């Protein structure tokens, strides 16, 4: 992946993330009871009762997307730069599932081996929320992974 990510890649990732996360300025518990705010932001700084302005939420989204983008750049070791759409899909995935999920995934192994189509086709496997016996597929994740896969393949098929 290029060291300097084009603003179009970040723009595509932010649009996808914003759509699927939704804008919620008041903290809430996500489907697996993690305090969440704005566009799916989680962390030690989020607690029920917290409210953020639209500007604060936009800044959090931008900062969090840059963290996901840097993780994708660090973990991707392929010879050629990722196509913009594929990179945007991987950033969206990493934003949602975390760096650890990408780092240990078959999807990353396929990306790094140059099998972009195979990597994109791994996205629909990531539809569950929760841990262990509490793990369950969520329709929102099914929809999101399908959109990420479509975007990813658009780049991979160029």
Active-site residue numbers? 21, 30
Distance, in Å, from the CA atom of 4 to the CA atom of 62, rounded to the nearest integer, reads 16
Q: What angle separates helix 54-75 from helix 7-21, to the nearest 10 degrees?
A: 120
Chain length of the chain = 158
DSSP SS3 for 59: helix
Residue 124 per-residue DSSP state: G
Query: Largest Cα–Cα distance in the chain?
Result: 47
> Please, are residues 87 and 72 in contact by the beta-carbon 8 Å criterion?
yes
> Please, are residues 53 and 37 in contact by the beta-carbon 8 Å criterion?
no
> Please, are residues 92 and 14 in contact by the beta-carbon 8 Å criterion?
no
């Amino acid at each position: 992946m290029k060291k300097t990510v084009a603003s179009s890649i970040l723009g595509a990732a932010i649009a996808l993330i914003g759509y699927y996360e939704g804008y919620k300025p008041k903290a809430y518990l996500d489907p697996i009871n993690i305090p969440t705010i704005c566009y799916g932001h989680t962390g030690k700084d989020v607690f029920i009762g917290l409210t953020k302005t639209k500007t604060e939420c936009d800044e959090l989204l931008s900062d969090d997307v840059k963290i996901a983008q840097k993780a994708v750049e660090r973990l991707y070791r392929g010879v050629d730069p990722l196509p913009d759409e594929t990179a945007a899909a991987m950033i969206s995935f990493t934003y949602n599932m975390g760096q650890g999920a990408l780092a240990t995934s078959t999807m990353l192994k396929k990306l790094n081996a140059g099998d972009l189509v195979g990597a994109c086709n791994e996205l629909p496997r990531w539809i569950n929320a929760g841990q262990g016996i509490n793990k369950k597929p969520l329709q929102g994740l099914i929809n999101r992974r399908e959109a990420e896969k479509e975007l990813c393949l658009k780049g991979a098929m160029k």
